[in-house]
Amino acid sequence: MGILKRNNCFYDTSRFGQPQIRIYHKMGKGKQMPRYLLKCGCCDEKLEIYYSDDGLEIGGVNGAIEDWREILFPLLLIEQKGDKLIDRRIVRAKLTKQ
């Protein structure tokens, strides 16, 4: 997994029409796991995501990666079929064009 890099400008609406999430990454040291720090694009609200090979802690809630996938994929309109991930937005767009 590559580390996402962004410009992190405050209130940058150029890509999506809404303030872009600012993202920061810290490598793990000693017993501390590596983490992503996500900050709101228009205020100082933030969310920390700690990750390892077998689990994620998002906002202080620990869980297995498979458990997080089960919860988050439907919200992101992503469907998993076997080893493939399918973007349901594309499938939905094709159905409405027909």
Clarify whether residues 32 and 72 are in a common domain: no
Q: Which two tokens stand for residue 23?
A: 């993202």
Q: Report which of 18, 22, 17, 19 is spatially closest to residue 6, judged by C-alpha positions.
A: 22
pLDDT per residue of the chain (98 residues) written in tens, 0 to 9: 577 777 888 888 888 889 999 999 999 999 899 999 999 999 999 999 999 999 999 999 999 999 999 999 999 999 888 888 888 887 666 666 66
Summarised one tens digit per residue, pLDDT across range 36-62 is 999 999 999 999 999 999 999 999 999
Task: Examine residue 1 and state whether it is found in any structural domain, yes or no.
Answer: yes
Q: Are strands 22-26 and 55-58 parallel, antiparallel or unpaired?
A: unpaired
Task: Examine residue 75 and state whether it is found in any structural domain, yes or no.
Answer: yes
- How many domains is the chain built from? 2
**What is the model's pTM?**
0.77
One-letter amino acid of 28: G
Task: Examine residue 91 and state whether it is found in any structural domain, yes or no.
Answer: yes
Residue-range definition of the domain harbouring residue 37:
1-51
Count Cα atoms within 13 angstroms, Cβ side, for 15.
Answer: 11
Clarify whether residues 46 and 4 are in a common domain: yes
Clarify whether residues 69 and 44 are in a common domain: no
Clarify whether residues 46 and 3 are in a common domain: yes
